[in-house]
Chain A
Amino acid sequence: QQQVKQSPQSLIVQKGGISIINCAYENTAFDYFPWYQQFPGKGPALLIAIRPDVSEKKEGRFTISFNKSAKQFSLHIMDSQPGDSATYFCAGRGMDSSYKLIFGSGTRLLVRP
């Protein structure tokens, strides 16, 4: 069964610090790994994504690092801001006919001013 495990469950970071969220997946039948940001009362919004043939992707303050051999990937948020306070979900996209997303359990990030 495809699973994505995410840690930590919650994270508190000072403004300007680096937030790091880690995910690991349990089989190789994923072809795309997106990260979503979710604010209370809203649906998840795509933040950044990576394909498994790439080891790192950077977009502004957000970077994904991907280790295919270890089946692990992580999100780094540089210069974290109070506006980044939200719940973050990693996911893997399955390669069956539905291309469904398998989500991690989420990380609640609080950035203190």
Chain B
Amino acid sequence: AQSVTQLDSHVSVSEGTPVLLRCNYSSSYSPSLFWYVQHPNKGLQLLLKYTSAATLVKGINGFEAEFKKSETSFHLTKPSAHMSDAAEYFCVVSDEYGGATNKLIFGTGTLLAVQP
């Protein structure tokens, strides 16, 4: 069965400093992995997705993630945090071989706080 583990429930950074949100996955085959962001009282928005193409994936708002099969990791990074990045971030794996998003399995989320 597919699963993801987000290693930090809360991360706090200062504005302008790098962001690292950690995610490990478990999958019996090559997975499709996603990062979603959820701002308060708003819907989930896709940041980026990995579907077996380039291992370094670039997303919106300056975020990127690197798929590392040997470490079963898919950490999310951003070089410089902005106040507007404060939100909850979810690492997600798809349970369908080939990447069809028929069922998304979400991690428990990481709440990112950005201090001025």
Do A and B interact with each other, yes or no? no
Point out residues on A near B: beta carbons under 8 Å: none
